[in-house]
Amino acid sequence: MLPQAELHVHLEGTAPPELIARIAARNGIALPDGLLSVDGRFHFRDFLHFLRTYDLAASVIRTSEDYRDITYEYLSGIARAGAIYAELTASPDHAALVGLDDEQHYGGIAAGIDAARREHGIEARILVSAVRNFGADQAVRVAARAAQRPHPYIVGFSLAGDERVPPSDFASAYAIAADAGLGCTIHAGEWQGPVSVRDALRLPVSRLDHGVRASEDPALVHELAARGITLNVCPTSNLALGVYRSLSEHPLAHLHAAGVRVTLGSDDPPYFGATLAGEYALCAEQFGWSEQQLRALTAAAIDAAFCEERLKVVLRERLHAQ
């Protein structure tokens, strides 16, 4: 089992339909209409519909214990498949919509992280994400709250949601997060092309979530490599949402060969039929990457992680020992 690490996974998006159903039942609420298709999987046609389905699933997650359970279940599952570290993208806006404050939200997630560490040895930290389509002012409020470090596991700031809202709108939010010492990443170059990546690179970010469409602009690929920006790439997500029609069209291997730092993520695993270990296996099968090259992906994730240096040392030791 190869040691893996991931930096790009949305917490609500890790809960499979069965867990969402269990949580809804426990909270005494019916599953929202349109959430699942007849085959029992999450139902969506395209990216914007996916975001709406995601919001529907998130709407039944109501308590601190729900967040604990989702976190614990996800981390235990990937730990059993070899993962040693994950940065979980949390969305305080989704939590607020169901009436949870930061303490309840992050407290639940942290309890899940602690239990998974105790029982499975995996480590995890939290990225606080704002939602683009909730607007720049709300992102500033989310960043300002994150900057107060409502929980010690919070290590970074990110931006998810509808990519049509440009990164430059969020310069103030990113300035607040970066000034507070939070690591910064942003979704870009998934639905929008190279222009969105260039725009994102004006923010104080060291990583991009997806970023794959930078591959359409050779000068930009060069800039990513030269600046040491890490792309957190999710090939199965890209295929499921139709960013690329097939893996043979996917630019991951090209970006990697051009010297861009890359890591693998599962994004929203049950929605896309992805698993972290599966993303590694896909690179071995599709691109012929060796075990050494796959291990280098984990090393790149540890290098780009926003956790404290002391933990990185421990993770590198684990990577080399296993």
Query: Residues interacting with ligand HPA, by CB under 6 A?
Result: 10, 13, 54, 160-161, 187, 267-268
User: Which residues between 209 and 248 bind Zn ion (CB under 5 A)?
Assistant: 209
123 vs 190, beta carbon nearer Zn ion = 190
DSSP notation for 179-219: HTT-EEEEEESSSS-HHHHHHHTTSS-SEEEE-GGGGG-HH
b/e map 118-132, b = 16+ CB within 10 Å? eebebbbbbbbbbbb
Nearest approach, Cβ of 267 to ligand HPA (angstroms)? 5
The site partner of 13 among ligand HPA, Zn ion, none (C-beta below 5 to 8 Å per kind) is: ligand HPA
Binding segment for Zn ion (CB under 5 A), chosen from 68-76, 109-117, 201-209, 306-314, is: 201-209
In the residue annotation, 163 being an active-site residue is answered as no
Residue 279 interacts, among ligand HPA, Zn ion, none and using kind-specific CB cut-offs from 5 to 8 Å, with none
Q: Which does 289 bind (CB under 5 to 8 A by kind): ligand HPA, Zn ion, none?
A: none
Residue among 123, 163, 190, 279 flagged as catalytic? 190
Rule CB under 5 A: is residue 163 a binding residue for Zn ion?
no
CB of 28 to Zn ion, least distance (A): 31
User: Interface with Zn ion by CB under 5 A: which range of 47-55, 171-179, 205-213, 297-305?
Assistant: 205-213
Tell me which residue of 131, 30, 83 sits closest to 298, measured CA to CA: 83
- Give the DSSP H/E element, type plus range, for residue 138: helix 136-147
The residues facing 90 across adjacent strands are: 128
Q: Considering CB distances under 5 to 8 angstroms, the limit depending on partner class, which of ligand HPA, Zn ion, none binds residue 156?
A: none
Nearest approach, Cβ of 230 to Zn ion (angstroms)? Answer: 14
Q: Give the list of residues 6+ apart from residue 276 with CB closer than 8 angstroms, or none.
A: 4, 6, 9, 78, 81, 83, 86, 264, 265, 266, 269
CB of 54: closest distance to ligand HPA in angstroms?
Answer: 5
Cβ at position 130, least distance to ligand HPA in Å: 11
148 alpha carbon, distance to own chain's centre: 22
160 and 190 Cβ atoms separated by less than 8 Å: no
Looking at residue 134, the DSSP 8-state letter turns out to be G
CB nearer ligand HPA, residue 61 or residue 315:
61
DSSP string, 236-292: HHHHHTTSSSSGGG--HHHHHHTT-EEEE--BSHHHHT--HHHHHHHHHHHH---HH
CA distance 310 to 64: 29
Rg (CA), the chain: 18
CB atoms within 10 A of CB 74: 28
Residue 260 binding partner per list Zn ion, ligand HPA, none, with a CB distance cut-off of 5 to 8 Å that depends on partner kind? none
The distance of closest approach from Cβ of residue 76 to ligand HPA in the complex, given in angstroms and rounded to an integer, is 21
Give 267 or 318: the residue with its C-beta nearer to ligand HPA: 267
Return all residues near 45 (Cβ < 8 A) that are at least 6 apart: none
Binding track, positions 251-290, relative to Zn ion; x by CB under 5 A: ----------------x-----------------------
Does 87 help bind Zn ion (rule: CB under 5 A)?
Answer: no
Judged by beta carbon, residue 13 or residue 16, the one nearer ligand HPA is: 13
Catalytic site positions: 190
